[in-house]
Amino acid sequence: MNTIDAETLRSWLEEGRQVIVLDVRSAADRASWAIPGSLHVDAYAELKAHNPHALDSLSLPSDVPVVTVCNSGYTSQIASKQLIARGIEAHSLEGGMQAWSLSWNTADVPLPSSSAEVIQIRRVGKGCLSYLIGSQDKAVVIDAALQPEVYLDLAQSRGWSITAVLDTHIHADHLSRSRLLAERSDATVYLPDQERVRYPFTALHDGFTINVGVVALTAIQTPGHTQESMSYLLDRQALFTGDTLFLQGVGRPDLHASAEEARAHAHLLYQTLQHLLALPGHTLILPGHANAPMPFDKIPLTASLGDLRNQVKLLQLSESEFVETLVSRIPPVPPNHERIIELNEAGSLIENPIELEAGANNCAIS
């Protein structure tokens, strides 16, 4: 069977190789998450029924390889066989979108006035953003959401050793890899001060500073999305906001909270955002999630605080308007979020987290 694994497809896309990614899932499945730049044909039912004409309406160039994709890699094999029969070089993505969940790409974040280098590491299969910040020969990772080797290899390629690993909050949509990364790199785990996480960590309080090489990361308490949420300010240049402030919206206030608590969290989030909006307009905002699959374009997902102030409507509302809008727009809860929170509090990673983490992240309200 002509298949390729997710890492091979990831590297092809990263190299900019000519390839057509053909998504054969139903429109409903595709709506939750997709591979950036992929072509869609809603042929799922017909392929499953082994209709040999399922892809007949599709016209494809014969000189560009095709990678067929479905949910778990079975229906895409039927599709690739049909394309091969038409003389097209076709491969089926092993494990489908489930396996793609751990795919990633990177973008360098330009910070002209800081001596730090920042790499945005994007879990393209899910929308989680983490950051590797290096200065001299040291580095820190914020919100590790991928297997430790990704961060270790990137750090090594720049001549950095990872000395600190931070989370912005206790995540509900994916398993934090921070504890495991810290173990592999002999780094210290820093977490916002709270009493929920049950493995050893160094607690961060508002104003606490972590030095990396010659630069400083300062913790700013930013409750609202969750009670313990923190943002980290790098050299007064860039602010890593986790799920507090995104490029199109703000964090949802309801996870791990009752309806009444969600309303109280929305008030807290409003106060937090007012506090952040007082920072200089040139501060670069680096959020913890993206709301759409990020292309392999090496362009970082970031915006200045001044631009967000103008673009994000929610930031222009009064406190009561903000709270009412937020509670009226609460999106569906991430699948398995209670179990994910439990594992993040315990610091446990399970053997195969992909199924547990399946689905798009739903952390934002815009």
The contacts of residue 84 (CB under 8 Å, 6+ apart) are: 2, 90
Give me the least distance between CB of 132 and Fe ion, in Å please: 20
Q: Which is nearer to Fe ion, 163 or 362 (CB)?
A: 362
Phi then psi dihedrals of residue 78, to 5 deg: -65, -40
What are the CA-CA distances from residue 266 to residues 261, 269, 319, 329, 363 (Å)?
A: 9, 5, 9, 12, 14
Q: Which is nearer to Fe ion, 43 or 363 (CB)?
A: 363
Give me the least distance between CB of 174 and Fe ion, in Å please: 9
Give me the least distance between CB of 130 and Fe ion, in Å please: 13
Name the one range near Fe ion by CB under 5 A: 3-11, 35-43, 81-89, 358-366.
358-366
Give me the least distance between CB of 344 and Fe ion, in Å please: 10
- Asked if 333 contacts 362 with a C-beta cutoff of 8 angstroms, the reply is yes
- Pick from 263, 287, 272, 163: nearest CA to 213: 163
Indicate whether 363 belongs to the interface with Fe ion (CB under 5 A): yes
Give me the least distance between CB of 198 and Fe ion, in Å please: 19
Q: What residue number has its CB nearest to Fe ion?
A: 243
Indicate whether 133 belongs to the interface with Fe ion (CB under 5 A): no
Total count of residues recorded for the chain:
366
What's the rounded Cα separation, in Å, for the pair 90 and 68? 7
Q: Which is nearer to Fe ion, 243 or 357 (CB)?
A: 243
Q: Which is nearer to Fe ion, 30 or 252 (CB)?
A: 252
What's the rounded Cα separation, in Å, for the pair 296 and 103? 11
Q: Which is nearer to Fe ion, 189 or 363 (CB)?
A: 363
Give me the least distance between CB of 217 and Fe ion, in Å please: 19
Give me the least distance between CB of 171 and Fe ion, in Å please: 5
Q: Which is nearer to Fe ion, 228 or 243 (CB)?
A: 243
- Total Cβ atoms within 10 A of residue 58: 17
Within 228-267, the residues that bind Fe ion by CB under 5 A are 243
Give me the least distance between CB of 333 and Fe ion, in Å please: 11
Q: What would the x/- binding string for Fe ion be over residues 151 to 190, using CB under 5 A?
A: ----------------------------------------
Give me the least distance between CB of 32 and Fe ion, in Å please: 18
Q: Which is nearer to Fe ion, 56 or 342 (CB)?
A: 342
Angle between helix 259-277 and 319-328 (nearest 10): 130
Give me the least distance between CB of 240 and Fe ion, in Å please: 13
- Give the number of residues in contact with Fe ion, rule: CB under 5 A: 2
Q: Which is nearer to Fe ion, 308 or 364 (CB)?
A: 364
Q: Which is nearer to Fe ion, 76 or 362 (CB)?
A: 362
Phi then psi dihedrals of residue 336, to 5 deg: 60, 25
What token pair was written down for 314?
Answer: 């929610």
Q: Which is nearer to Fe ion, 66 or 165 (CB)?
A: 165
Q: Which residues of the shown chain bind Fe ion in the complex (CB under 5 A)?
A: 243, 363
